[in-house]
Amino acid sequence: MKHFDIPRNALLFTLALFALTGCNTKARSTAYEFTQVSRGTLEKIVSSTGTLNPVATVKVLSRMNGKVEKIYADFNDPVVRGQVLAELNTDMLRLQREQQLAQVVKARANYAIQELNYQNQMRLAEKNLISEYELNSGKTSLDIQAAELSAAEASLKAIETEINQYAYITSPIDGIVLDRSITEGDTVVDSSSSNSSAIFTLAENLREMQIESWVGELDIAAIQEGQEVRFTLESLPGKNYRGTAASKRLLPSVQDNVVSYKVIVSVDNTDGSLLPGMTCAVEFIEERNEDVLLVSNAALRFRPAALSDTEIEELVFNASLAGMNGDRRAAALERRAASRTQTASSGGDGSQTGLTGLLTSGMGGPGMGGRMPPGGMPGGGPGRQGGGTNARNTTGGGTNAGMEAPAPKSLWYLDENSRPAVILVYAGISDGSRTEIRPLNPAEKLEGTNIIHRERID
């Protein structure tokens, strides 16, 4: 194969002019644009967006009605468990406590009087001076007074609890104040009320955060727990961060007939540069291959317009023979001849010979001397970013059991006569602009080869 003196690892714009002559036709010139086969690292990724949030947040509500007397914590303040965040006014509660204390004293006195009365009734009953009914009535009255005393004491304890505990709004965790929705003088309501709302929002820990991202149904199968994740922030351009896929939620979200699933990404924030609410561009790294041959996706899609279908088929078939041994070459030629005969007998012109079937069956897939790259090679071209169907190689050089060998792809170049020639390769993973390739014939050295990826006919 001829290599042209063109700089490596760059998109090349080279004009190669040659005459295409035919019966009574005027010569035309074709301008080609080239790219080179390079070697490098390629990642197959799933792209998404998400929002940074603390791993755990706690909303603090008031446990009683009241007016805010004092506030002891503000935005971004670190707090510890049990620390007082705010204090409610207790003037009315203290008056209620005095009233209830009087009720307790009264109930205790009534109980004491009824207890003496019942004791007298018991002595009279021993002498048969009162009836059993009167004795039981006295016992019932004593029980009622005891219950009233207990109720009065419980009410007093509830008021004292509100004064000594509920009036002081405390932090339930060690963390940091993210939000404060009250000011001194505001009135808050009991958390049991339908009108209640959080007065403080606390984050347990900002040294560890998480990204809540949404992944479409076509890509969610590629997301696994523990998968490496890379993300960037709109607020901090040019800097890459790393994370790990922690979990994917099974509850789907449907918007405008688009189904997506929430994926939680764990992120380390030891340096404190990540803040809650930041928007992230997330890339889930599904597969990463290093030191592999790479070519532009446009080159894999290129098809010479100056050549007919028959000419293209002939060149591709001849290119496939270069990687076969003698027996397989003979078998491929025999199948091609049989296919042409069958096509001609069915009324065709004999030019279309089912080339893809001849190649995949005649060469036995990559096992004909080439090897599937790590992770397998897909049979299709680039689809979504990182696309293609991943036919994994589990037999150390063949395809999976029951699966057809992947069809090779064509790369076109100019031979020593400046005419289009073809190389057959297997396509691997893609990042949306470049695709990993491996030559059909392992003896071919593709690195640095100038490949046509676009043409213009003048």
CB 247 within 8 A of CB 225: yes
- Alpha-carbon gap, residue 384 to 376, rounded angstroms: 18
Round to the nearest angstrom and report the end-to-end CA distance of the chain. 27
Domain presence at residue 65: yes
> Do 99 and 228 belong to one domain?
no
Q: Which whole number is the average pLDDT over 82-92?
A: 95
Query: Does residue 5 sit within a domain?
Result: no
The verdict on 266 and 333 lying in the same domain is no
Return the ∠ at Cα 234 (arms to 232 and 237), rounded to 5°.
Answer: 65
Same domain, 320 and 387: yes
Residue 3 counted as domain residue: no
Domain membership of residue 210 as a residue range: 48-55+205-290
193 & 216 share domain: no
Which pLDDT score is estimated for 370? 37
Judge whether 117 lies within some domain. Answer: yes
Whether 6 maps to a domain, the answer reads: no
185 exposure class (CB count in 10 Å sphere: 0-12, 13-18, 19+): exposed
Please report which confidence band the pLDDT of residue 29 belongs to, taking 50, 70 and 90 as the band edges: low
Residues 21 and 63 in one domain: no
pLDDT at 350: 47
Please tell me which residue, 395 or 413, carries the higher pLDDT value: 413
Residue 345: is its pLDDT beyond 80?
no
Q: What is the pLDDT of residue 405?
A: 58
Task: Kindly state the average pLDDT of the residues 209-228.
Answer: 94
Higher pLDDT, 356 or 246: 246
- Contact, 411 vs 300, CB < 8 A? yes
Least confident of 172-181, 289-298, 343-352: 343-352
Residue 100 lies in a domain: yes
Please report which residue ranges of 172-296 form alpha helices under DSSP H: none
Looking at the predicted structure, is the pLDDT value of residue 300 above 70? yes
- Residue 439's nearest CA partner among 365, 370, 360 is 370
Q: Is the model's pLDDT at 331 over the cut of 50?
A: yes
In this structure, the answer to whether residues 92 and 183 fall within a common structural domain is yes
According to the model, what pLDDT value does residue 397 have? Answer: 39
Quote the DSSP letter at residue 222. Answer: G
- Does residue 167 register a pLDDT over 70? yes
User: Do residues 322 and 229 both lie within one domain?
Assistant: no
pLDDT of residue 257: 92
Please tell me whether residues 321 and 262 are part of one structural domain.
Answer: no
319 and 264 together in one domain: no
* Average pLDDT for 390-416: 61
Q: Domain for residue 409, yes or no?
A: yes
Q: Say whether pLDDT at 278 is over 90.
A: yes
Of 148, 176, 202, the one marking the end of a domain is: 202
Instruction: Using the predicted structure, report yes or no on whether residue 398 has a pLDDT greater than 50.
Output: no
Question: Which of 57-66, 73-82, 274-283, 352-361 has the weakest average pLDDT?
Answer: 352-361
Q: What is the pLDDT of residue 402?
A: 45
pLDDT tens readout for residues 405-425: 578 899 999 988 888 999 999
- CATH number for the domain that contains residue 242: 2.40.30.170
109 and 19 in a single domain? The answer is: no
The span from the CA of 342 to the CA of 352, in Å, is 10
Q: Which of 237, 256, 290 is the last residue of a domain?
A: 290
Are residue 216 and residue 351 in the same domain, yes or no? no
| 311 and 345 together in one domain | yes
Q: Residue 4, exposed/middle/buried by CB under 10 A (0-12, 13-18, 19+)?
A: middle
Which pLDDT does position 346 carry in this prediction?
Answer: 67
**Given pLDDT bands bounded at 50, 70 and 90, which one contains residue 283?**
very high
Residue 1, domain member (yes or no):
no
Bridge partner residues of 54 (DSSP): 209
Q: What total number of domains does the chain contain? A: 3
Token representation of residue 399? 């395809």
Which of 290, 319, 334 terminates a domain? The answer is 290
